[in-house]
Amino acid sequence: MSLSSEQLLVRSPVIVLVESKNENLRSGLAQCIAEMVATQAFNEKAGNPIKTIYGAMTIGTIWQFLKLEENIVSIDLTEYYIKDIKKILGILYSAIVQNKS
């Protein structure tokens, strides 16, 4: 993301974050996958296809992660609790670093 005094410009997003409603983490699954596919299409249209798009769903206290490669979605079935914030931040950081190279 680039930020200037007049505009906000998104370039090649690699992570999608969805907040699920009603304390039901699974309710955000379809939305997260749809946003990951849209992100993949956005990047391809911008001429910067990115091999892996990551997704994160949260209800605030619980997090779950997904990965989209080509047309295959992988879901990490582990639920990460906010008390493990270092692990959550590590997963998010890893997604960014892996796409930088």
pLDDT score recorded for residue 41: 94
Does 94 fall in a domain? yes
Q: Give the integer Cα–Cα distance in Å for 32 and 2.
A: 23
Which domain does 50 fall in, by range?
13-100
Question: Could you tell me which of 23, 32, 22 has the C-alpha nearest to residue 65?
Answer: 32
Model pTM score: 0.83
C-beta separation of 57 from 64 below 8 A: yes
Does 7 fall in a domain? no
Number of domains present in the structure of the chain: 1
Cα–Cα distance list, 68 to 3, 4, 37, 81 (Å): 27, 30, 8, 23
pLDDT in tens, 10-66: 677 889 999 988 788 888 899 999 999 999 999 999 898 899 999 999 999 999 999
